[in-house]
Amino acid sequence: MFKKKYFLLLLLSLVGCDNDNKAINEDNTESLNVYYLSKGGDTILISNGDTIQQNLGDSVEFFIETSLNLIGLFGDKHVELTRNETDNLIYSCKMEQAGVSSLGAFAYSFDEEAVTNIEKEKYFFIKIPSWLLSILVVEDPDISIEANSDVKEAIEKKLTDQYSIPTLFNSYKLNVESLTEGNVTCTTATKDTIIGEYSSSDISLLHDLAIQLNNKSLVFTIEKATDREYGQGYWLKQDFTEEFQKLYPDANVSKVAVSTLAIINQ
């Protein structure tokens, strides 16, 4: 639901007049135009009722053109708009949730001579499709341990037996409807299927990812694998150093890390 009611109440309080003492001018020559900046850099006019399509993770700028002096751009609960600090006719919006979102632009002015309100409004929609992100493990995990030599074997055994690390040919398919959380399907090398959840600070950036499967968590930092021939190769990195320092406080544990090569398609 738009905040139009509150917006208009605010405007009326600013001009300090009562609606009973003035008319609404419906046939004035004033205009309200809303534009957005396309990916190609073109400024495109939005008509009333238009639907524009954007991708999850995209950012878009809206520009308002009007001679009316009080304006606002509002969206539903799935849209977070940020007003430009130096130009109040420019708004930016990042696409963080799949679906169809509604937006409305409102402009208002009061003609003291004619004792007339001038109001303009325009509504439009943003359509944001969901997408599928797939991760396929293509090499066995590389385990790196720096500790006293007499505990390295015990650390590696405990790590592989009791902690969640990827397995060769496991695949993870994320149904991305939100940049920060959603559902994931894991298919193991033996074709078993496990349904779970994922979370990320922003999955479109491929920087961090946490996967929850059967009450076990895989927490990754993601880095591009520039040292491999795979065009879409990424390292899924896990750091268990702090946990094993607590388990082996006298073993000089300075590193327990796992790096797993995977191909990511989105």
Domains, in order of start, for the chain:
4-129 (2.60.40.60), 132-265 (no CATH)
Alpha helices in 113-164 (DSSP H): 149-162
| Residue closest to 176 by CA, chosen among 201, 203, 194, 137 | 203
Q: What is the pLDDT of residue 151?
A: 96
d(CA 87, CA 112): 26
Q: Which pTM was predicted?
A: 0.77
d(CA 38, CA 60): 8
For residue 246, give the H/E element and its range.
helix 241-247
Beta bridge partners of 121: 106
- Per-residue pLDDT 10s for the chain (266 aa) are 444 444 443 443 333 444 443 333 444 446 899 999 988 889 999 999 999 999 998 999 999 999 888 889 999 888 889 999 999 899 999 898 999 999 999 998 876 665 567 889 999 999 999 999 999 999 999 999 999 999 999 999 999 999 999 999 999 999 999 999 999 999 999 999 999 999 999 999 999 999 999 989 999 999 999 877 766 799 999 999 999 999 999 999 999 999 999 999 98
Q: Are 135 and 262 in contact (CB under 8 A)?
A: yes
d(CA 174, CA 204): 12
Residues 6+ apart with CB under 8 A from 237: 220, 221, 222, 223, 257, 258, 259, 260
Q: What is the pLDDT of residue 27?
A: 40
Residues 29, 30, 34, 40: what is their CA dihedral angle, to the nearest 10 degrees? Answer: 70
Q: Are 111 and 69 in contact (CB under 8 A)?
A: no
